[in-house]
Amino acid sequence: MATFRYYAHTLPGFGSIAQQEIASKLSAKSTGIRTVGNQNDVVLFEYGGDPQRLLEMRSTEDVFFLVQHLRKVPSDRRGLAYLRKGIRSARYFDVGLRIHKRLCNVNTKRQTTFRVISRRRGHHAYRRIDAQRAIEKGVLQRYNYSWRLVPEGEMIEIWVNLLGTEAIVGLRLSDATMRHRHYKTKHLPASLRPSAAFALAFLSDPEPGDVFLDPMCGAGTILIERALAGRYRLLIGADTDPVAIAAARRNIGPKYKPLGIGQWDAAHSALKAGTIDKIVTNLPFGRQIGSHAENVVLYGEFFTEAQRVLKTGGRMVLLSSERRLIQENLACYPEFDLQERYKVSILGTRALIYAIDRR
């Protein structure tokens, strides 16, 4: 099967984790990451397998066929003509349409409708909407005005990411279920998006024998994403909030057994020492939930309990904006060995993901 170029959108800072999933699941070659300000990362890659597998990615928010990748786009108004001509002459546009038709079940008997979404980072002598209109005109010219531009309800959605002197243009292959998932019917404040929850579970290096713990499970998103990441021995979720426990049970439903969910304090569990293989959790940021002063106590107690229940050779993956508290607590436990750290953004808040092994 021929190799073509694609790209994925992820939450800000999650691009390098998506790269790992792309390499692991698709054996695809990543060709780089671009950032769109604080909106998201763009992960470019080459893939020659079944396009249907692209929709099985879980750390991504959307997946696109790369129609055109223009470099040295002029920052003055000449750039608009450059964009228009670039999309009009894009070599693999029709290949992308065939893949889009296959994945999205497009009715080819109707007139093709489309819309363009444009985003921009950098300084240009024209507006974002001007770049959008240049791409729209290029598409119309390419297909001799047989396509129809619509504000919504389109068959074809085209995105242009104008990043300084680069323009990355793609056909969107995924729909909203890649971002939102069907299972999530109950939401809570500070609840993670599913793609972020999967990224945390993925970094735990899932193994079939895992006894997996989320001691602050909220609506259960991390537990579900770990269940969907592969086989496990046992999933355990806990939270002090009865509303969160009810939401987790509602989202999880009767699936993903063996599973245990209970209302108990993450810092004072009844778990036996050295019985947990993986701990993955979204620690309170001290903004929507709790405060920094409360976190000082909570984080200390959490690390003490994690040191007690996590097996030697186990792994902990933590998401937190409390950088200093994490560093201070790691310094208290030399058996915790920080392996990886990723700078991310969660709803506009800067945070870090920590992958920590227990010696």
Residue 236 sits in a domain whose CATH number is 3.40.50.150
- Note whether 289 and 221 are same-domain residues: yes
Question: Do 21 and 145 belong to one domain?
Answer: yes
Task: Indicate whether 142 and 208 sit together in one domain.
Answer: no
Of 116, 147, 177, the last residue of a domain is 177
If one counts the domains in the chain, the total is: 2
Q: Domain check: are 201 and 168 in the same one? A: no
The pLDDT value given to residue 152: 94
Q: Which domain holds residue 140?
A: 4-177
Paired sense of beta strands 4-10 and 40-47, if any? antiparallel
* Same domain assignment for residues 119 and 237: no
Q: Are residues 87 and 173 in the same domain?
A: yes
pLDDT for residue 287: 66
125 and 189 in a common domain: no
Torsion of CA 81, 85, 88, 91, to 10 degrees: -150
| Sheet order of strands, 211-214 included | 259-262, 234-238, 211-214, 276-282, 310-320, 349-358, 336-346
State whether 44 and 158 are in the same domain: yes
Quick one: 354 and 331 in the same domain? yes
Is the overall model pTM greater than 0.85, yes or no? yes
Q: Which of 157, 177, 197 is the last residue of a domain?
A: 177
Last residue of a domain, one of 177, 193, 225: 177
Q: How far apart are the C-alpha atoms of 226 and 210, rounded to whole Å? A: 10
Q: For 238-241, which contacts have Cβ atoms below 8 Å and span 24 or more sequence positions? A: 238/213, 238/214, 238/262, 238/263, 238/264, 238/265, 238/266, 238/269, 239/263, 239/266, 240/264, 240/265, 240/266
pLDDT digits (tens), the chain, 359 positions: 799 999 999 999 999 999 999 999 999 999 999 999 888 999 999 999 999 999 999 999 999 999 999 999 999 999 999 999 999 999 999 999 999 999 988 777 789 999 999 999 999 999 999 999 999 999 999 999 999 999 999 999 999 999 999 999 999 999 998 988 888 777 787 789 999 999 999 999 999 999 999 999 999 999 999 999 999 999 999 999 999 999 999 999 988 999 999 999 888 898 999 999 999 999 998 666 678 899 999 999 999 999 999 999 999 999 999 999 999 999 999 999 999 999 999 988 999 999 999 99
Same domain as 152, residue 222: no
- CATH number of the domain that residue 96 is part of: 3.30.2130.30
Distance CA(151)–CA(160), nearest Å, equals: 16
Same domain, 167 and 200: no
274 lies in the same domain as 138: no
User: Which phi and psi angles does 31 have, rounded to 5°?
Assistant: -110, 10
